[in-house]
A = this chain, B = another copy of it.
């Protein structure tokens, strides 16, 4: 692999990325369904018609943004759920990783939270597809634990969805607290940690 791109394709990808970045920025204060194609090209400094060289529509651009925002997240999910001695350690580590990811990719997190139930169907479906994949990966990791003996696949997937949804809620809360004080963010972390802890306790006593 790793074939050096021609200077033509390289420039094209550069423009495409600029469009994605500009769109992500504009989506800070609106939803995808109100994002105009001209609005995006204006922000990039390119002619409106250039947009069509890269995307069929803003909905199409939205789907690409889903890939960018969630596609690179799979390895992180794996390592988060995986390596840990105690489950308490795993919880603390997971919350830290979520907080860090929100710090470094706030616009991505906002986009996913906003468009997960948003007004653009193809984007909603893309997000739900990725989240379903996440849940399956979490399920696979959970299955490796010794706490999971006797669990049915259905129940493991049920628990995995609970974890994934909880991660999204926590990420969204961290996002709201981004501009807030350090104490505010600490409070979010505390609540999220205790919620995960409670779920973990429920898991331990599920078999009774």
User: Taking beta carbons and an 8 Å cutoff, which residues of A are in contact with B?
Assistant: 27, 29-34, 110, 113-114, 116-119, 121, 155, 158-159, 161-162, 165, 169, 172, 191, 194-195, 198-206, 208
Q: How far is the CA of A117 from the CA of B203 in the complex (A)?
A: 29
**CB–CB B158/A194 < 8 A:** yes
Majority SS at the chain A contact face = helix
Residues of chain B with a CB closer than 8 A to A155's CB:
194
| Known interface pairs A34-B33, A198-B199, A200-B202; A113-B119 also in contact (CB < 8 Å) | no
Residues of chain B with a CB closer than 8 A to A206's CB:
198, 201
Residues of chain B with a CB closer than 8 A to A32's CB:
31
Residues of chain B with a CB closer than 8 A to A200's CB:
202
Q: How far is the CA of A161 from the CA of B201 in the complex (A)?
A: 17
Q: How far is the CA of A194 from the CA of B206 in the complex (A)?
A: 10
**CB–CB A161/B119 < 8 A:** no
Residues of chain B with a CB closer than 8 A to A203's CB:
198, 202
Q: How far is the CA of A34 from the CA of B162 in the complex (A)?
A: 32
**Further 16 A-B residue pairs, CB within 8 A, beyond A161-B191, A165-B165:** A30-B119, A31-B32, A31-B33, A33-B33, A114-B117, A114-B118, A117-B172, A158-B191, A158-B194, A159-B195, A162-B198, A198-B206, A199-B202, A201-B201, A201-B208, A202-B205
